Copies of this chain bind each other. A is one copy, B any other.
Amino acid sequence: MKTHTLTIVGVGLIGGSVALGAKKRGLADRVVGIDNQRESIDRALALGAIDVGFQCEAPAESFGEIIVVCTPVDQIVAQVALAAHHSRAGAVLTDSGSVKGTIVREVERLTPKIAFVGSHPLAGSEKQGVEHASPDLFQDRLTIVTRSPQTDAGALERISSFWQALGSRVQSMSPEAHDRAVARTSHVPHLLASALSAYLEPELQPLAATGFKDVTRIASGDPALWSAILMHNRPAIRDGLRELESCIQRFRRALDEGNGDALTDVLALGKRRRDDLGS
């Protein structure tokens, strides 16, 4: 299934990688990039990720059969609404935001007639910008696509095929199940990595070795982007934090009681589950 025009709104790391991946695999005749930063468009053009680019106002013919909104999460709903306004009959829209519940609910409320499917490719990096984009960013990664009561089955099918064509595995779940899951796999870990990084006084930094650097690596992510992500998933993050704290409580109790065997048991569970993940 080849698309005539593929439209990417927000040409950063993710949007640029979708564009490059589609180019490399011949998934579209033409890739149009829309971004509110002239610099990102120029870079994407220079990299050959997009064929044509627009800043802000894009003409109606820029909006193709597949439109992927890859902006920061707090701009996705507005950009989807704008694209929906211009899009042709039969177009399907998706996004790449790392929260889904608030976005899918808002999009369905504001533009109930368009074929929108929420997506979250579990790929990325603490680096930002189209200059770090890669056509193979999604290769062998997992992309979650969301299925709500309003989701059009044909659109879900087309968006799933699109991510698969970019090399990704695809799994569908409800927006709420997605948000609960990523609170645990991504948002709570991000918050902890950031807290650990913040609490280490500068004079102790020379003592931080590889382990500390690994634990805190994701804290280098863009604060404004992450603030928006976390703000969109507050209830699930609160639940996740509460569960994590009851885990930490088991450690604290073992330490307080001087119970080395109990401590070994919790550490062994952590090791078992970490070993299951692979390197």
At the interface, yes or no: A57 with Cβ under 8 Å from chain B?
Answer: no
* Contact between chains at A267 and B194 (CB < 8 Å): yes
What is the interface size of chain A, counting residues whose CB is below 8 A from a CB of the partner?
86
Whether B144 and A273, one on each chain, are in contact in the complex, defined by CB atoms closer than 8 angstroms, is no
In the complex with contacts A234-B258, A270-B198, A212-B227 CB distance below 8 A: no
A270 near B234 (CB under 8 angstroms)? no
Q: What is the CB-to-nearest-CB distance from A244 to chain B, in angstroms, rounded to a whole number?
A: 5
Contact across chains for B266 and A198 when beta carbons are under 8 A apart: yes
Please state if B209 and A123 are interface contacts (CB–CB under 8 Å): yes
A104 to B199, CA, bound (A): 28
User: Which of B202, B221, B247 lies in contact with A273, CB distance below 8 A?
Assistant: B202
Q: A196-B192, A223-B271 are in contact. Are A248 and B241 (CB under 8 A)?
A: yes
Cβ–Cβ contact A227 & B263, under 8 A = yes
Q: Flag whether A154 is at the interface (Cβ < 8 A).
A: no
User: Binary interface profile of A, 162-201, with partner B (CB < 8 Å = 1, else 0)?
Assistant: 0000000001000000000110111011111111111111
**A interface list, Cβ under 8 A from B:** 122-125, 141-142, 144, 171, 181-182, 184-186, 188-202, 204-224, 226-228, 230-231, 234, 237-238, 241, 243-244, 247-248, 250-252, 255-256, 258, 260-261, 263-271, 273-279
The 10 closest A-B pairs by CB, nearest first: A194-B270, A223-B267, A227-B264, A197-B270, A195-B247, A223-B268, A219-B274, A197-B274, A198-B270, A219-B270
